[in-house]
Amino acid sequence: MPKNIDHDAYRLKLAQKAALLFSKQGYAGLGMRSIAKELGISKSGLYHYFPTKKQLFLACTEIVTEFDEVKTSLISNIPKNATIEERVHVLFEFMQKIEPGFPDELSLLVEYLRDRSSTDIANDKSRQLARDTYLNLISNIVGEKDATPVLCLVLGTLLMRFFDGSTTDYGKVEEWLKKAL
């Protein structure tokens, strides 16, 4: 009797495992054959679930940007009548939680978008999803009006901490942002 497989659950499991592969090995260095081998599935089986590497990468992006547990705890930590200072503090707690994975994600993003035109980058679904997810999260914390500049500051802070060996002081940046908002 044939196995009864939950195809959606299996597809999700493949994408979760592939997300780790992309994170550690990059985008360009992985072909569908090597991904399939690492996932323990035939290449044709992988193509059944993800017809292209770009579609697999989009599924991985969806998983990485879900932050369900982190978002839920983050948003629930904000009191209903929270001041902007309290909201900014919650944002900086979030930054500290995502910082350990930032170098791998940054490397993957740069590699994925390297040698593409600005139009291609602007239209890329994975890039749009990641940007929109972060903007939505930040909008829930500081409001829609300030979401884009605050996202720039968040990414800049994480990048600076990566560049300077984590010596940029979160507290100083947090205080500056509280004054700016």
Report residue 170 as tokens.
Answer: 């979160």
Evaluate if residue 25 carries a pLDDT over 70.
Answer: yes
pLDDT value, residue 63? 83
CB 110 within 8 A of CB 90: no
Categorize the per-residue pLDDT at 151 as very low, low, confident or very high, splitting at 50, 70 and 90. Answer: very high
Evaluate if residue 8 carries a pLDDT over 50.
Answer: yes
Average pLDDT, the chain: 88
**Reported pTM:** 0.78
- The CA-atom distances, in angstroms, between 164 and each of 1, 23, 37, 156, 167 are 59, 22, 37, 12, 6
CB 135 within 8 A of CB 154: no
Higher pLDDT, 23 or 14: 14
pLDDT value, residue 67? 66
Quote the CA–CA distance of 48 and 41 in Å, as a whole number: 11
Q: What is the mean pLDDT of the segment spanning 2-7?
A: 70
Looking up tokens 């500051």, which residue turns up? Answer: 153
Superfamily in which the 7-52 domain is placed by CATH: Homeodomain-like (1.10.10.60)
Map out the domains of the chain as residue ranges.
Answer: 7-52, 65-180
